[in-house]
Amino acid sequence: MSRRYGIAPYIMPPTITAASRFALTSSMMRSGSAAPASGTSPWSDAANTVIAFPFVLPVTTPIYKVFWVNGSAAGGNSDIAIYDENYNFLVGTGAATAGSGNSVPQVVALSATTWLSPGLYYAGMAHSATTINQVFRWSVATIGTAIWQALGCWKFAQTLPISGNATPADLTNVALPYFGLITRSGFDV
């Protein structure tokens, strides 16, 4: 049997979040933040704002669903969308979904299963409220928000549901929401 290094398409892991090796990586997430948990809202300074992180795909990858992790007091409405490298809106769930189920992931289907070609993308999440404990998040309160900017994260004012292209601005909040994409069909998270 011959090995096919560098030829066979890469098989993607079942989820992609900010901690993924295809996004900000766990080493960066652990460098200045505690584990994701409830606390100060990523939208404490402004609700109805998309907060996004970059990710890359080495192969064409299907995105079946998206999810976020509710906080200890789930509430508000949320939406998730995917943008291309030029901040053009590609796909979202098409609706603002009410948070339900404390401290558990909440899964929502995209408006259509989407096949993304290899390349750079952004995953963004918007939330309708500034209330604490509604969404799990990483927090970099101890080292400051420059790390989010250094990692390529951004924000953009957007009422729910998310639609239209983004005009990114520096992410100045200490918290990054815990949300992600699901690349497997059937069992999600």
Partner 1 sequence: MPTSSLKPAMIGNPMSLSFPSSYRPNMVMIHPFSVEAHGDELMGGTTANLTSTTPAGQHGCMITLNDSFLVRKVWWANGTIGGSNNADVAVYSEDGATRILFGNGALMSGSNTVQEIDISDVLVPRGRYWMVYSQSGVTNGVLAVTMAVANVRAAGFAFASGLTVPIGSTWTPSAATSGIVPLFGIAGRTQVA
> Any idea what DSSP says for residue 11?
P
- 29/47 with CB nearer partner 1: 29
* Sites of contact with partner 1 (CB under 8 A): 1, 3-15, 17-21, 25-27, 29-30, 34-37, 58-60, 62, 67, 69-70, 88-92, 94, 103-105, 111-112, 114-119, 136, 138, 163, 178, 180, 184, 186-187, 189
3-state secondary structure of 128: coil
Kind plus residue range of the DSSP H or E element containing 53: strand 49-57
Rounded CA separation 84/122 (Å): 6
- 46/150 with CB nearer partner 1: 150
Given the DSSP bridges, would you call strands 15-17 and 97-98 parallel, antiparallel or unpaired?
A: unpaired
Give the nearest distance from C-beta 82 to partner 1 in angstroms. Answer: 9
Rounded CA separation 73/21 (Å): 30
Sign of CA dihedral 115, 86, 30, 135: negative
Give the nearest distance from C-beta 4 to partner 1 in angstroms. Answer: 8
Give the nearest distance from C-beta 162 to partner 1 in angstroms. Answer: 10
Rounded CA separation 81/68 (Å): 12
Give the nearest distance from C-beta 122 to partner 1 in angstroms. Answer: 14
- 46/60 with CB nearer partner 1: 60
- 129/189 with CB nearer partner 1: 189
- 70/77 with CB nearer partner 1: 70
Give the nearest distance from C-beta 27 to partner 1 in angstroms. Answer: 8
- 104/150 with CB nearer partner 1: 104
109: left (phi over 0), alpha (psi -120 to 50) or beta: beta
> C-alpha distances in angstroms, 66 versus 4, 8, 98, 124, 178?
32, 27, 14, 11, 11
Give the nearest distance from C-beta 167 to partner 1 in angstroms. Answer: 17
